[in-house]
Structure 1
Amino acid sequence: MKILSSSQIKQCDSVTIGKGISSIDLMERAAKACSDWIEINFKINKGFSIFCGNGNNGGDGFAIARMLYEKGFDIDVFIDENNFKFSDDSKINLDRIKKISGIGIKGFSEFENNRESVIIDALFGYGLNRELSDDFNDLIEKLNEIHTSKISIDIPTGLFADRIIDEHSTVFKADFTLTFQFYKRSFLHPETGRFCGKIIVLNIDLDEDFINGTKTDYFVIDETLIKNIYKPRKEFSHKGTYGKSILVGGSYGKIGAVLMSTLSALRTGSGLTFTIAPKCGNTVLQSQIPEAMFIDSGENHINKIEIQEKAVYGIGPGLGKEKETRKALLEFLENYTGPIVLDADAINILAETQRLNLIPENSVITPHPLEFERLFGKTENSFEKIELAKQKAEELQIFIILKDHHTAVVTPGKKVFYNITGNSGMAKGGSGDVLTGILTSLISQRYEIEEACIFGVWLHGKAGDLAAEEFSKEAMLPTDLINKIGDVFKYLS
């Protein structure tokens, strides 16, 4: 799914209107999509307090008020009593609800706390391009203090669609955001996405030709994209068909990390799977994963990484940063030219030695925020971090997977794919090791690198979602996630 900027969305609206639908009818279409969703998901609630601005987002709110009233809900609408200048379409919908005696229309100052009433924010839409006035700040702060369900229409008031907010900004804190046709980038970054709650994308049939023909660097990984990438296993095939994965890692006390990477590579479909690890891990690895072949390297820490032809390497989980291990990694990188997956201590060694130039082109690195900072330096916020990642991915001709709540795949072509599977239950040591195994396995199975990254982060998150459903976010383990990979493939099949 493409992510369009606010200016592109505005163009898309205009093009759609220019092809035979009036602006007021498009507003009606958006309001119907919202009211239908609200009716299904809030049917036990009787009352709604809808806060409407003077622009078209307020017009959506007025139309939603009318439709919810017609569905049998109690509705109060609140407007700015100090400003009666409305957009044309907003005024049409305001006039329509003025004719309905059962809908109360009041000023913002008349609002009284009613915990049984759901609050709907239709104050400002995606077009907001300035900080809120003091009056609106006071209103939003008042609404945020109320413990009741809250819904934002299009985007929570106080957020911008495409950029960061000031850390002291006042923003409406929604439980649900009902947005139209597209994600906004601000939904997907930690500083801004925390205000949005659950994102519900509603299709309002904006012009497909415009959407398909509009260029963007930003995308959401959705199931349509995944189903186009996924390659079902062929009946007439053998283990060589599905590649050779070599997971390199582990050190004394950290064998579990490379064990999880190896197991996840197998679960993802690797044809031949090897583990290079120190001898201290032999018994654990061979007893826990008999399907993988063990290659020893050093006693307690890896001291050599053997090069095998026609193999894909995933290096880093539990690796450690001992002097002999550091030397082994750098020597390997000096002599290996194929794409590899680098994670954890492999990334930290490269950061400390500043030998990023040794990373082969088309390789994948998977830093968490602190590892990214060690590699490339500090940024002021996650929006700047994405831009720096785009620059470095192009410069080094590698793929950078920025691990976060919404993990982002950044390509050498400076495209960004945000992942929306996954949950906070995956915030446990070992989850990243599982991702390393998944990515290594997919690349060894001859998925294109970009597709392997996109599919890999989605698969990782989807398996985590299934694990959370069964075990809870608190209790789920990275190994539970590995065991759910098979269920994800069943789902895709």
Structure 2
Amino acid sequence: MKIFTAEQIRSWDQFTISHEPIASIQLMERASLTAANWISEHSKTHRKAAVLCGSGNNGGDGLAIARMLYQKGFDVDVFVNDIKREFSEDAAVNLKRLRGISGISVRNFNQVEQYSFDDKTIIIDALFGTGLSRPLADEYKELVEWINKKDNPKIAIDIPSGLSADGLLDGDSMVLKANYTLSFQCWKKSLLHPETGKYTGKVIVLDIGLSENYNETTETDYFAIDDSFAGSLFNPRNDFAHKGNYGKAVIVGGSYGKIGAAVLATKSVLKTGAGLTFTLAPQCGYEILQATCPEAMFIEGGNRSIKCFDIDKESTVGVGPGLGTQEETKKGLLTFLKDYQSPLVLDADALNIISEDQKNLQLIPKRSIITPHPKEFERLFGKTENSFKRLELAREKAKELNIYIVLKDHHTQVVIPEGNVYYNLTGNAGLAKGGSGDILTGILTSLLAQGYSEKNTCILGVWLHGKAADFASEKHSKESMLPTDVIDELGNVFIELNRKKEINL
């Protein structure tokens, strides 16, 4: 799924109006009906709605939604800044339609504090849409601040008021904190970053029938990894294949007290389908790895930590889980990187060792995949003001070093050397536990060994990781799910992928 800027979204609306053809007021009606239907279907116990409407087209959507909810049996009240205020052309039409309905009251914002927000009332935010370019001020800021204190469920139409579609607004911005955001047609960047996404609640993308031709022909650097996209990259198993067809993967990791990380990564390699799996670890982890991962072969790399990186050059390598940063390990890793030319996966302590000297970045083999969390990224490339700036720096570094950067976050971003960014939509807060990153390293190493391109390895890998975590959270909860539960669910994800491939043949 493509992610467009606010300007591109406006152009998408206009293109649809011109080429369908359809009048702008009819397109607003279509979008509003889609939103009203979703609200009605999901509001079984809340049948009263307070709709906050601005004077622009987002407010026009809100006015139309209010009318439609009333027709569906909701008790509806509408709040606007000033009935005499100049509204956009389409919003004015919907305000006029609303006035013809005696059962809907239209009030001013200054009456909101006297309104009875009982436990059956939902609040619908249609104050500002994607075109907002400056922080909320005056009565809008005061209104949103007051509404945020209410416990009632809040639904934002297209985007929570106070947010820009494209990133952070300058200065301090008051933002309506929604429980749900009904985003029209596509994701927006600000719904996917932690500083802004914290206001969206659960995001629901509603198809409102904008032009598919515009979507296909308009270029963007930003994409969302949804189930359909990830599924299109998956290659089912060939019935006549043998283990040699699915690669030789080597996990390099583990040190005294951190063998568990190597176990998690190794199990992930196996469960993701590599043909042959090896673990290069210190001798102190031999019995643990052989007992927990009997399908993998053991390569001794040292006693209590790894000092010898003796790896077959035909292997695909994932380095870092539980590696440690002992001097002998540092020396061994850097020597290995000087001689190894094939793309590999680098994570955790491998990145920490590299980050100790900026010259080490040049040792990363071209087309390799690195998987830093925010702190590891900072050590490697420097501190940034926010996640938007961090992403732009990652784009620069991916191009400069010709590498793939997997920026781990709530919506993990895959940054490729060509500059494109892919936001992952799977995963949940249950992954915020030690060991989750080791699993991702194993998944990526396995896919790369099986012959997936570096780009497709990253995109499919982060989706697989998140999807398995979603399955695990459904069974165990986000609080109680373990990294091993995520590994156990990889099989169910592959069952789903194979079933969908069979259906689409």
| Coarse TM-score class (shorter-chain normalised) | over 0.9
1:462 alignment counterpart: 467
CA contact (8 A) 1:314 1:341 kept: yes
2:76 alignment counterpart: 75
CA distance in 2: counterparts of 1:411 and 1:164, whole angstroms? 23
1:221 alignment counterpart: 225
CA contact (8 A) 1:158 1:169 kept: yes
CA distance in 2: counterparts of 1:418 and 1:99, whole angstroms? 45
Cα distance per residue 1:138-169 (max 9 Å; x no partner)? 00000000001000001000000102135731
1:446 matches 2:451: yes
CA distance in 2: counterparts of 1:474 and 1:169, whole angstroms? 32
CA distance in 2: counterparts of 1:376 and 1:387, whole angstroms? 12
CA contact (8 A) 2:133 2:169 kept: no
Aligned pairs for 1:109-258 within 5 A? 109-111=110-112, 112-116=115-119, 117-166=121-170, 168-258=172-262
1:318 matches 2:322: yes
1:261 alignment counterpart: 265
1:63 alignment counterpart: 64
2:4 alignment counterpart: 4
How big is the shift at 1:113?
4.3
The unaligned stretches of length 5 or more in structure 2 are 499-505
Aligned pairs for 1:261-280 within 5 A? 261-280=265-284
1:92 matches 2:93: yes
1:332 alignment counterpart: 336
How big is the shift at 1:420?
1.1
Q: Secondary structure at the match of 1:447?
A: coil
Q: TM-score scaled by structure 1?
A: 0.99
How big is the shift at 1:309?
2.8
2:482 alignment counterpart: 477
Alignment-mate amino acid for residue 147 of structure 2: L
CA contact (8 A) 2:48 2:76 kept: yes
How big is the shift at 1:82?
7.2
Q: TM-score scaled by structure 2?
A: 0.97
CA distance in 2: counterparts of 1:419 and 1:167, whole angstroms? 29
CA distance in 2: counterparts of 1:33 and 1:82, whole angstroms? 26
2:380 alignment counterpart: 375
1:304 matches 2:305: no
Cα distance per residue 1:208-231 (max 9 Å; x no partner)? 111111111100001121121000
Alignment-mate amino acid for residue 376 of structure 1: F
Aligned pairs for 1:285-300 within 5 A? 285-300=289-304
Cα distance per residue 1:121-150 (max 9 Å; x no partner)? 000100111221221110000000000100
CA distance in 2: counterparts of 1:113 and 1:3, whole angstroms? 39
Aligned length: 493
2:503 alignment counterpart: none
CA distance in 2: counterparts of 1:198 and 1:9, whole angstroms? 21
1:15 alignment counterpart: 15
CA distance in 2: counterparts of 1:441 and 1:132, whole angstroms? 48
CA distance in 1: counterparts of 2:453 and 2:283, whole angstroms? 34
CA contact (8 A) 1:115 1:146 kept: no
Moved more, 115-124 or 282-291: 115-124
CA distance in 2: counterparts of 1:26 and 1:353, whole angstroms? 56
Alignment-mate amino acid for residue 425 of structure 2: I
Cα distance per residue 1:407-427 (max 9 Å; x no partner)? 000000010000010001110
CA distance in 1: counterparts of 2:485 and 2:154, whole angstroms? 33
CA contact (8 A) 2:249 2:317 kept: yes
2:491 alignment counterpart: 486
Q: Secondary structure at the match of 1:299?
A: coil
CA distance in 2: counterparts of 1:319 and 1:119, whole angstroms? 51
Cα distance per residue 1:218-267 (max 9 Å; x no partner)? 00001121121000111000001110100000000000001100000000
Cα distance per residue 1:402-447 (max 9 Å; x no partner)? 0011100000001000001000111000000000000000000000
CA distance in 2: counterparts of 1:95 and 1:22, whole angstroms? 17
Q: Secondary structure at the match of 2:29?
A: helix
Aligned pairs for 1:345-356 within 5 A? 345-354=349-358, 355-356=360-361
Alignment-mate amino acid for residue 407 of structure 1: T
Cα distance per residue 1:293-344 (max 9 Å; x no partner)? 0001111000111120321000000000001000110111000100000000
Alignment-mate amino acid for residue 2 of structure 1: K
Cα distance per residue 1:155-202 (max 9 Å; x no partner)? 000000102135731100000000111111000000000000000000
Aligned pairs for 1:22-37 within 5 A? 22-37=23-38
Q: Over aligned residues, Cα RMSD in angstroms?
A: 0.9
CA contact (8 A) 1:257 1:430 kept: yes
Cα distance per residue 1:55-87 (max 9 Å; x no partner)? 000100011011110111100000012761000
The unaligned stretches of length 5 or more in structure 1 are none
* % identical equivalent positions: 55
CA contact (8 A) 2:410 2:427 kept: yes
Q: Secondary structure at the match of 1:352?
A: coil
2:429 alignment counterpart: 424
